[in-house]
Chains A and B, each alone.
Chain A
Amino acid sequence: MKPFAYERARDVDHALSLAAANPGARFLAGGTNLLDLMKLEIEQPSQVIDVGRLPLAEISETPSGGLRIGALATNTAVASDPRVRSRYPILARAILAGGSVQLRNKASVGGNLMQRTRCPYFMDSAKPCNKRLPGSGCSAMEGLAMTFALFGASEMCVAVSPSDMSVALAALDGLAETVRADGSVSRRPVETLHRLPGEAPQVDTDLAPDELILAVELPPPPEGGQAWRKVRARASYTGAIASVAVAGGQVALGAVAARPWRARAAEEALASGASPFEAAASELAHAAGEEGRKALVRRLAADVIREAREGMGS
């Protein structure tokens, strides 16, 4: 681990001004991703700004009938919130499918959104990786790991977002609210919070270094059933090979792109009366990559859409 300075933020403004003064700084929330990466010297911040004690953990009703979830609410708190469980069950399910109890007790909403890819070559500083060391090449492209992007990848990077929570948030039209040191507040859809790799896979999001996520806002749940499923080789404590979140007519796919992937083609097909299988197939028609993975996502998406429609809950 590289030596670094540590500062505990007194309040949001303090956190923002520290970050604005030092572009090499990183916010620290639960630390379950940042600290691991620092030990491996994949993240090498010169300063760590601890935002973990800021009063941003509240979960509250919005005037429009949605829910506002503070960026520092723990994954456990969100998944066990009765309003989340009754109105956004796929969000609770998605969170509970991630990590372990210990991790979820530590992990925050903001940190979960901003966690970095688990591409094994990104995690190994001895290997070429454009995301970690721009221009060094992509070891994954010809590599052994299998969970690579089917959508939105580039010649530079094929990594996927590992966040389960964000897949449900994207299906629910969640918005991430951020604030910068100059006081500007913006609201971005969770769906597009992360950039596609393009020519610059090293840049995960459009967030400025001094931009802090304050909360995620959910509109009232859409009409219709919700369903969630995650595919993985072992039953717990491992990332998705693929996941699907469905809320009414809204469908998001996980572990298939550098961001939670809203399956717009599938949604349109469903809206015009296609069967779940036809809808899934129409989305996968745009996918690039290995046939087996496409077949998995097609089958899974079709089945989860069907399940949501049949109102079997999630």
Chain B
Amino acid sequence: MSTVRDWAEPNPVTENRTGLIGKPVDRYEGRLKVTGTAPYAYEVETPSAPLYGHIVSSTIARGRITAIDTKAAESAPGVVLAWSHLNVPEQAARGARINPRSQRGANPALASDRVEHYGQSVAFILADTPENARAAGSLVRVAYAEEPADLDFLASLAKAGPAPGEEDARVGDFEAGYSASEVTVDGTWFSPLQNHAQMEPCATTAWWEGDKVVVHTSIQMVKGGQHALAETLGLPSDRVRLFTRYIGGGFGGKGQSYDDLTLAALASRASGRPVRVAYTRQQMFQATIHRPAVQMRVRLGADRTGRLNAMAIEAVTHCARNAPFVEHAANFARNLYAAPHRLTGHRLVRLDIPHAGAMRAPGEAPGMLSLECAMDELAETLGLDPIELRIRNEPEVDPDNGKPFSVRQLVRCMREGAQQFGWDRRNPVPGAVRDGRWYVGMGMATAIRGNFLLPAKAGLRVTGDGLATLTQGMTDIGTGTYTILAQITGETLGLTLDKVRVELGDSDMPPAPGSGGQFGAATAGSAAFETGMVMRRRLAELAAGDPASPLYGEDPTLMDFANGNIVLGNRSASLAALAGRAGPEGVYVEGSISPAADARDWSQHTYGAHFAEVGVDSVTGEVRLRRMFGVFAAGRILNAKLAKSQITGGMIWGVGAALTEANPVDPRFGSFLHQDLGGYLAPVHADIVNLDAVLLDEADDKANPMGIKGVGELGICGAGAAIANAVYNACGVRLRDYPLTPDKVLAALEAKGL
């Protein structure tokens, strides 16, 4: 096993020998996407004309199906078959595993008469057109025996229990430390249930080739989907070939497969035809996972200089009764600020609503909305600038475990951000700045998010035409994976991008863990890098050992790669010629990355600081972002344009979390109030004016051989808190109940007599 010391050796990427690393090159697949020719899962060409499936969803939250009548649907125009739990083909039991290395258990659809949440699949129609399938779906009659259900999170707080397998993290004696503190803050924040709201719904196209099923589906993890389907169908994994080449947004919501995958495969087997199944927009809200609501009590105790003495975040969140999941809203605090007395932990309420699950920056996204506002309150109580307060609490080593930081540029992020944003123009007195009928204010908050490296592989082929083709069972969920893998491959082999091909999203390719937890680029990228280095050595050895090569007999370790050639002094051998002579298939190698044995001896995170200026309409309570700026430190940046797009996209998610996004559960039905993108208010262009971010120069040599880290989730962390703090600075209203919608802001203004 390697150690981080092995990664410190200079290499083509860290030296950026041809200048491809960091370059803001356009997206590899951009043209296909903007011209509408990238085939998404629902659109791939099928070997013969497809049939279309439609899923019928439950309209109760909990109970039993006592009768289900699909007769009218079966005789509706174009219908090929109709399934319910009574006649769906046999599948493995939920969670079952027959393949020893399966990452996921079986995930059967329509498996029983039990209904566990509103929107659960209860019937499936297969028809000649999507319209006929959907029309027939509405003819299915279902009778239920409803059972009492827990649907209202805040009304069920008394039922909160410990998170499974977890204990509170306690350091020192929080209660004693808190009560001995000179200055305290005690507040309870609420972050609501939110949806991923991806553009592309979950969708699958499936067909069978003999005893093997081929599926094109929209999923973030190739192996996870392949294994889940194999287990559900009771097949060895190698009889499921899963493709997921283009994905119209995931954000964690497609980290798992849904019933579209299972039912498309089953229906294709039953009908002998290719089958397409997509979730409706309404089903995307009701039948996939969501970010659960979190209630957070934060208590801070400090001395008069602002040094934290006690810090607690106690979070209560919820998950589905039979699908445990914890939104770890308190964990980030353990690495962010030091205090001798600390308490962080989570409680869980089991509800009869759809499954809670991971959504972009799970934990930090809601969690930082509390602590980073509590810090703002503390700063105000102390009469300190919020940045100064944080600097006074900047730890020397990771407060959670005493480990040294690999690199921590949090203070620099705050200082540079303050300078570029013009933080010194902020009037610390709330309500002091007006622009016409608008109260204007500024706020800031920090950002922290962990960095991870998982094991991954990749394959690389160089052929006689001089092209290098990287293959990896990895996904690009719209983040830019194709592009950065092309850049890494180009840099390791000294090739320009027009000589590099990247093929992803195929379960037959060397596996990578997929996109999630902002580990994608570092993990898949490092595997691509290692594979490129394997290829370099192989080609150099070929050049040295091939009598036809101008470099015959030379020392392969001295050779360099540039412009499609292997170079030594003034002689060179072209990759194309070497690969051509090696055989008709060229040269193929595989490589892999795994975490260094000692990687966890350092505390590894990405950091940032957000600055926001908002206007609050003094008449209506509407909050509008006027400008937002962030400075981030996240290792070496592979592509300036894509990294910034990820970061600013994350910040925009923070704007939504702060101001508009929430989906309440209707406790009478167990359904969500909003079921489409007109009702669920994610920010639109008009909400985002003048939003920008800067990434600091950084290389984290403890992270991986390229010194890169994740950027996909960092931008959302803390972003909403900066906005809430700006709202307070604008109008003197402290709202702890997100999102800060006009009704809440106006009620608070009225309560202040404004």
Hey, which bits of chain A sit against chain B, CB under 8 A?
Answer: 1-3, 39-41, 118, 120, 123-127, 139, 142-146, 231-238, 241-242, 292-293, 295-296, 299-300, 303
Contact across chains for B683 and A234 when beta carbons are under 8 A apart: yes
B684 touches which one: A1, A139, A237 (CB < 8 A)?
A237
Q: Known: A3-B77, A234-B686. Contact between A292 and B664, CB under 8 A?
A: no
Contact across chains for B686 and A144 when beta carbons are under 8 A apart: no
Contact across chains for B675 and A124 when beta carbons are under 8 A apart: yes
Q: Is B393 close to A, CB under 8 A?
A: no
Q: Is B546 close to A, CB under 8 A?
A: no
B743 touches which one: A118, A146, A234, A238 (CB < 8 A)?
A146
Contact across chains for A300 and B666 when beta carbons are under 8 A apart: no
Q: Is B621 close to A, CB under 8 A?
A: yes
A234 touches which one: B282, B437, B681, B747 (CB < 8 A)?
B681
Q: For A300, list chain B residues within 8 Å (CB).
A: 619-620
Contact across chains for A296 and B743 when beta carbons are under 8 A apart: yes
Query: How many of chain B's residues touch chain A, expressed as a range?
Result: 35 or more
Contact across chains for B685 and A236 when beta carbons are under 8 A apart: yes
Contact across chains for B59 and A234 when beta carbons are under 8 A apart: no
Residue of A nearest to B78 (CB): A3
Quote the shortest CB–CB distance from B740 to chain A (angstroms).
Answer: 9
Contact across chains for A127 and B135 when beta carbons are under 8 A apart: no
A3–B282 alpha-carbon span in the complex (Å): 21
A97–B148 alpha-carbon span in the complex (Å): 44
A127 touches which one: B437, B619, B669 (CB < 8 A)?
B669
A231–B623 alpha-carbon span in the complex (Å): 10
Q: Known: A3-B135, A296-B746. Contact between A233 and B741, CB under 8 A?
A: yes
Q: Is B412 close to A, CB under 8 A?
A: no
A118–B131 alpha-carbon span in the complex (Å): 23
Quote the shortest CB–CB distance from B422 to chain A (angstroms).
Answer: 23
Contact across chains for B131 and A292 when beta carbons are under 8 A apart: no
Q: Known: A1-B135, A120-B674. Contact between A236 and B620, CB under 8 A?
A: no
Quote the shortest CB–CB distance from B184 to chain A (angstroms).
Answer: 31
Chain B 644-671 residues near chain A, CB threshold 8 A: 659-660, 664, 666, 668-669, 671
A20–B671 alpha-carbon span in the complex (Å): 40
Quote the shortest CB–CB distance from B716 to chain A (angstroms).
Answer: 17
Q: For B621, list chain A residues within 8 Å (CB).
A: 296
Contact across chains for B742 and A142 when beta carbons are under 8 A apart: no
Q: For A235, list chain B residues within 8 Å (CB).
A: 624, 684, 686-687
Residue of A nearest to B60 (CB): A126
Q: For B93, list chain A residues within 8 Å (CB).
A: none
Q: For B676, list chain A residues within 8 Å (CB).
A: 123
Q: For B624, list chain A residues within 8 Å (CB).
A: 235
Quote the shortest CB–CB distance from B678 to chain A (angstroms).
Answer: 7
Contact across chains for B673 and A120 when beta carbons are under 8 A apart: yes
A143–B671 alpha-carbon span in the complex (Å): 12
Quote the shortest CB–CB distance from B523 to chain A (angstroms).
Answer: 35
Q: Is B427 close to A, CB under 8 A?
A: no
Quote the shortest CB–CB distance from A137 to chain B (angstroms).
Answer: 11
Chain B 131-163 residues near chain A, CB threshold 8 A: 131, 134-135, 138
Contact across chains for A236 and B742 when beta carbons are under 8 A apart: no
Contact across chains for B673 and A144 when beta carbons are under 8 A apart: yes
Residue of A nearest to B676 (CB): A123
Contact across chains for A233 and B131 when beta carbons are under 8 A apart: no
Q: Is B679 close to A, CB under 8 A?
A: yes
Residue of A nearest to B683 (CB): A234
Quote the shortest CB–CB distance from B721 to chain A (angstroms).
Answer: 19
Quote the shortest CB–CB distance from B322 to chain A (angstroms).
Answer: 23
Contact across chains for A145 and B673 when beta carbons are under 8 A apart: yes
A295–B473 alpha-carbon span in the complex (Å): 57
- B743-754 to A contact mask, C-beta < 8 Å, 1/0: 100110010000
Quote the shortest CB–CB distance from A203 to chain B (angstroms).
Answer: 24
Quote the shortest CB–CB distance from B619 to chain A (angstroms).
Answer: 5
Residue of B nearest to A126 (CB): B59
Quote the shortest CB–CB distance from B200 to chain A (angstroms).
Answer: 18
Q: Known: A126-B59, A235-B624. Contact between A142 and B135, CB under 8 A?
A: no
* Further pairs besides A120-B674, A237-B684: 16, Cβ < 8 Å: A1-B135, A120-B679, A124-B282, A126-B671, A142-B668, A143-B666, A144-B673, A232-B622, A233-B622, A234-B681, A234-B683, A235-B687, A236-B685, A236-B687, A295-B747, A300-B619
Residue of A nearest to B747 (CB): A292
Q: For A120, list chain B residues within 8 Å (CB).
A: 673-675, 679
Q: Known: A1-B131, A1-B134, A2-B135. Contact between A299 and B678, CB under 8 A?
A: no
| Interface of A, helix, strand, loop or mixed by DSSP | loop
- B718-754 to A contact mask, C-beta < 8 Å, 1/0: 0000000000000000000001011100110010000
Q: Known: A236-B686, A237-B686. Contact between A296 and B678, CB under 8 A?
A: no
Contact across chains for A299 and B674 when beta carbons are under 8 A apart: no
Quote the shortest CB–CB distance from A97 to chain B (angstroms).
Answer: 10
A144–B671 alpha-carbon span in the complex (Å): 11
Residue of B nearest to A147 (CB): B743
Residue of B nearest to A235 (CB): B686
Q: For B742, list chain A residues within 8 Å (CB).
A: 231-233, 241, 296
Q: Known: A238-B681, A241-B742, A303-B437. Contact between A231 and B620, CB under 8 A?
A: yes
Q: For B678, list chain A residues within 8 Å (CB).
A: 118, 237-238
Quote the shortest CB–CB distance from A252 to chain B (angstroms).
Answer: 17
Quote the shortest CB–CB distance from A154 to chain B (angstroms).
Answer: 21
Q: For B743, list chain A residues within 8 Å (CB).
A: 146, 241, 292-293, 296
Chain B 664-706 residues near chain A, CB threshold 8 A: 664, 666, 668-669, 671, 673-676, 678-679, 681, 683-687
Residue of A nearest to B666 (CB): A144
Closest A-B pairs by Cβ, 7 of them? A236-B686, A235-B686, A126-B59, A303-B619, A231-B620, A235-B687, A144-B673
Residue of A nearest to B741 (CB): A233
25 A-B pairs with C-beta separation under 8 A:
A1-B134, A2-B135, A3-B131, A41-B138, A123-B679, A124-B282, A126-B59, A126-B671, A143-B666, A231-B622, A232-B622, A234-B659, A234-B684, A235-B684, A235-B686, A236-B685, A236-B686, A237-B678, A237-B684, A292-B743, A292-B747, A295-B746, A299-B619, A299-B620, A303-B619
Q: For B685, list chain A residues within 8 Å (CB).
A: 236
Q: Which of A123, A124, A242, A303 has the most CB of B within 10 A?
A: A124
Residue of A nearest to B134 (CB): A1
Contact across chains for B659 and A233 when beta carbons are under 8 A apart: yes
Residue of B nearest to A238 (CB): B681
Residue of A nearest to B750 (CB): A295
Q: For A40, list chain B residues within 8 Å (CB).
A: 282
Q: For B622, list chain A residues within 8 Å (CB).
A: 231-233
A233–B621 alpha-carbon span in the complex (Å): 9
- B589-603 to A contact mask, C-beta < 8 Å, 1/0: 000000000000000
Quote the shortest CB–CB distance from B439 to chain A (angstroms).
Answer: 14
- B235-268 to A contact mask, C-beta < 8 Å, 1/0: 0000000000000000000000000000000000
Residue of B nearest to A290 (CB): B743
Contact across chains for A292 and B135 when beta carbons are under 8 A apart: no
Contact across chains for A234 and B134 when beta carbons are under 8 A apart: no
Q: Known: A296-B620, A296-B746, A303-B619. Contact between A236 and B684, CB under 8 A?
A: yes
Chain B 398-450 residues near chain A, CB threshold 8 A: 437
Quote the shortest CB–CB distance from B97 to chain A (angstroms).
Answer: 35
Contact across chains for A234 and B660 when beta carbons are under 8 A apart: yes
Q: For A233, list chain B residues within 8 Å (CB).
A: 622, 659-660, 681, 739, 741-742
Q: For B687, list chain A residues within 8 Å (CB).
A: 234-236
Q: For B131, list chain A residues within 8 Å (CB).
A: 1, 3
Quote the shortest CB–CB distance from B63 to chain A (angstroms).
Answer: 15
Q: For A143, list chain B residues within 8 Å (CB).
A: 666, 668, 673
Q: For B77, list chain A residues within 8 Å (CB).
A: 3
Q: Which of A41, A236, A299, A300 has the most CB of B within 10 A?
A: A299
Q: For A125, list chain B residues within 8 Å (CB).
A: 138
- B376-396 to A contact mask, C-beta < 8 Å, 1/0: 000000000000000000000
A139–B671 alpha-carbon span in the complex (Å): 12
Quote the shortest CB–CB distance from A167 to chain B (angstroms).
Answer: 16
Residue of B nearest to A242 (CB): B620
